[in-house]
Every structure is written in C-alpha cells, then in structure tokens.
Amino acid sequence: MWSPYQTTALLMNTVCSQLSAFPDTSAGFGEDYVHGPAFYDWLQTSEAAHWLKDDPVLQAERADVEPNTYTSCALYGAYLTWSADRIVSTAGPNLRIRRIS
C-alpha cells in the first residue's frame, strides 16, 4: 500500500498536513520517543529533496505540494521509508530490528 515504487495515480484520502509517522506531545509519551517531522513538514526540507533526488516523478510532486494536497500513496511511502530508517537508526544496541521486505 505504501510502496514508493507504485504508480502516483493512487492518492491518499487524507491531506498531507494531517499525517505523521511520529507522535506529537499529545500522545503522552513524555520525551521518550523518536522525534521527527510530520509529512508536510518533511516535504519542505532539503532532506526530503535529497531523499527523492533519484525519482523525478516524486520530486516533481513534492515541489507542488501544499498543506491541503492529497498526495500520492507513493510519496507518502517514501516518507514512511525515510521515517523507518530514522527510527531504526536511533535503536539502542540491545534492540534487534529485522526488516521484512
């Protein structure tokens, strides 16, 4: 569903400014969680531009996104992939994470 390699014809049913892979302070976790940008905020960063640099279709979609845009599932999939990499990179040495593709 969230593959960044699928067609961009499949759109999300939620606008991009309302999506995040990371909890905010209202989740009640205190400070004991991985912080990261919401989807729309990530799309505005140079890090997103770098992450998407090899995909001209997603890069073009990123350039046109506004807060109330219904983006493609593929673009959200790219964000979720980036988010997973960020979360995994913060794992402590006693935590084993195995990716299943």
Full-model pTM: 0.88
50, containing H or E segment: helix 46-51
Domain residues of the chain, as ranges?
1-20+33-89
Q: How many CB atoms lie under 10 A from the CB of residue 24?
A: 10
**pLDDT by residue, tens only, the chain of 101 residues:** 688 888 999 999 999 999 999 888 777 777 777 789 999 999 999 999 999 999 999 999 999 999 999 999 999 999 999 999 988 888 778 878 887 76
Residue with tokens 């998407």: 52
